[in-house]
A and B are shown apart, each in its own frame.
Chain A
Amino acid sequence: MPNLERRAQPSMVMMFASPVIAAVCMLITGYLLFTLLGKEPLHAFWVFFIKPLTTAYGIGEWLLKATPLILCGLGLAIGFRASVFNIGAEGQLTIGAIAAGGVGLYFNGVNAPWILPLMMLAGIVGGMLWAAIPALLRTRFNTSEILVSLMLVYVAQLLLGFLVQGPWRDPDGFNFPQTKMFTESEMLPLLMEGLRTNISFILALLLVAASWFYSHKMFAGFRMQVSGLAPAAARYAGFSEKRNVWLALLISGGMAGLAGMGEITGPIGQLQPVISPGYGFAAIIVAYVGRLHPLGVLLASLLMSLLYLGGETAQMELGLPSAVTGLFQGLLLFYLLAADIFINFRIKTRKRPLEQAEPVKPALSEELT
């Protein structure tokens, strides 16, 4: 066991440094891994992390992939701060897409300006409803929201599969399991000609600000933070636990639903059996690596999005399996958790001489008994 001793106060420096340390450790592991796979590591790094960002199109793709991560990550971070562990964002994203897609298909061909907002609303409500199931079961029957929300991911994906293979399949689609394409008025407007980035990225940035305001300026955010840090203190203060669970799940579910809507009305343009390469799960990593802070979530999303993009580039240019992305993402979270120990502990070097130690404060009985 390493010689660790608890710091008197958590280290603020380490709070910010540990995600950076984690990223550096991930890069070092990547270096070793690339070498092991017989790739020139520096070249592989360049292909993985730099090349995707050398073109305007690449940067557009980068922001495009970051968007669902930001949306899901913001919601999860709010929940995790309150110790409500919604790990089913992937399912809420899927249901959001189904709900939005359902509205889109129903009004397919009706070119009206209200369709897109309606689809957006449907996406958010869909995600919320899906997250309401674990919220209801947790508040009513004490059922673990972790397991329920996760189980519902599989249910949501099977439901999507059923819809696109069955009732919603495009009759003119050569039997491919997919729906009709959405029309122009059902698609999110692009930010710039030639890029696939759409206004949902701007929306995500606005939500970063809103989320910061909520968790740092509003009493409601404080209530949720207390519930997460010390449930007994929250009860003592009279903050309702049920409200806490409901809020955490509805917010994160709504955000994930919005992300799902953004995928099908953005880069995909229709419903397919698979609409997300695991954004909802990657968002768990985003939330933690982002220190459960909205700005951190933004930065972590950009890093994670780069990992997705780099994985694709590396697959095309170097023949590396794109699954390396998942590997890096998992490693990143491991390293972060490990580096975090230095926030509260430091490595015991040698005994400090007596005279330098602080005089004994009386009544540190919690520590001494």
Chain B
Amino acid sequence: MNTAQFIPIFASVVAAATPLAYAAFGELVTERAGILNLGVEGMMLVGAIAGFAVASQTGSLSLGFAAAILAGILLSLIFAVLTLTLQTNQVATGLALTLFGVGLSAFVGRSYVGMSLNGLPKLDIPVLGDIPFVGPLLFHFDIVVYGSLALLFALQWFFGRSYWGLVVRAIGESPASAHAIGYPVIRIRYLSILFGGAMSGLAGAYLSLAITPMWVEGMTAGRGWIALALVVFATWKPMRVLLGAYLFGGVTILQFYGQGMGVHVPSEILSMLPYVVTIFVLVLISRNPKTILLNQPMSLGQSFYPHS
């Protein structure tokens, strides 16, 4: 493979990885606080259509992304009210959120089917972008891609060094203890769910505004679920989330380049790859129960209601 081939392939791997990374980062924060939100797929879809609708109405991609984030937050707010305030089962409520998101996005998106707009432009970084090979390889992405790296460092710092990161981890381990020593468990869980929603919304909008700037019903095609699997695969560590996202980005891209590279396998079979690989890595990581027990937030998925 020469550089002329490599650079576009690398670029599309990064593009495919970015929404996965955002959604998984968001879910990581939610899960670190002890909440399992299976609604990522639904929030991404609603983010995708909200972003596309607002961007095509206003002509502003920034407003589109902002709308997507807002939509993700609103959707996750429903989840938060149900699971935190009304004490519903997190698994059932997450499934409901996904099913609702699928329905809502299809409903709202019906009038946007077939439209297209100009996707998110790549940044032109002076000097750095002009370096041969390295410039086009690393410095010709859009701002959301660089944002995902910034988010990685922010999360590393948050969970590794900051006081509030410690509080979130403590709540994820034992909400009862955190409540007993006086932390507002419910409020912090609300915030962590809303952060997850915002990131899922953004991830969805990246699909409909950057990768393929249009709206197609169900366009996330399971990426929300893959993001959930990524969090497990990453054993709840931000750095590994990003690595995992790039791995999956690579697998997703295989189906587009496989044909060109002379692999004679039907496209449907190649398209199965991301899903099959997801199952494979899940098996790999959960094979040893200790890996999960040691890394999974201990209260994950359990309801907590402070007695007052």
Q: Hey, which bits of chain A sit against chain B, CB under 8 A?
A: 1-2, 85, 87, 133, 137, 141-144, 146-148, 150-155, 158-159, 161-162, 165-166, 278, 281-282, 284-285, 288, 321, 323-331, 333-334, 337-338, 340-341, 344-345
CB contacts (< 8 Å) of A144 on chain B: these are 232, 282, 286
Q: Is the CB of A284 within 8 A of B276?
A: no
Which listed residue, B99, B228, B269, touches A330 by the CB 8 Å rule? B99
The docked-state distance in angstroms from the alpha carbon of A325 to that of B102 is 11
CB contacts (< 8 Å) of B217 on chain A: these are 323
CB contacts (< 8 Å) of B188 on chain A: these are none
Q: List 11 A-B contacts (CB under 8 A).
A: A137-B282, A146-B38, A151-B275, A152-B275, A158-B268, A323-B109, A324-B107, A326-B99, A326-B103, A337-B82, A341-B88
The docked-state distance in angstroms from the alpha carbon of A148 to that of B283 is 9
Q: Is the CB of A152 within 8 A of B103?
A: no
CB contacts (< 8 Å) of B159 on chain A: these are none
Q: Is the CB of A137 within 8 A of B283?
A: yes
Q: Is the CB of B110 within 8 A of A321?
A: yes
Q: Is the CB of B78 within 8 A of A334?
A: yes
Given A141-B287, A142-B287, A150-B222, the answer on whether A323 and B100 have CB atoms closer than 8 Å is: no
Which listed residue, B91, B104, B271, B282, touches A148 by the CB 8 Å rule? B282
Q: Is the CB of A326 within 8 A of B86?
A: no
CB contacts (< 8 Å) of A285 on chain B: these are 96, 99
Q: Is the CB of A141 within 8 A of B99?
A: no
> Closest CB-CB distance, A58 to chain B, in whole Å?
23
B299 at the interface (CB under 8 A from A): no
- In the complex formed, the residue of A with least CB distance to B107 is A323
The binding surface of chain B is classed by DSSP as helix
CB contacts (< 8 Å) of B110 on chain A: these are 321, 323
Q: What 6 A-B pairs are tightest by C-beta distance, nearest first?
A: A326-B103, A330-B100, A323-B106, A162-B268, A327-B103, A333-B96
Q: Is the CB of A338 within 8 A of B88?
A: yes
CB contacts (< 8 Å) of A327 on chain B: these are 100, 103-104, 106-107
Q: Is the CB of A341 within 8 A of B287?
A: no
> Closest CB-CB distance, A357 to chain B, in whole Å?
17
Q: Is the CB of B103 within 8 A of A330?
A: yes
- In the complex formed, the residue of B with least CB distance to A2 is B85
- In the complex formed, the residue of B with least CB distance to A342 is B86
- In the complex formed, the residue of B with least CB distance to A166 is B266
B229 at the interface (CB under 8 A from A): yes
Which listed residue, A154, A325, A338, A340, touches B103 by the CB 8 Å rule? A325
B95 at the interface (CB under 8 A from A): yes
CB contacts (< 8 Å) of B278 on chain A: these are 147, 151
B272 at the interface (CB under 8 A from A): yes
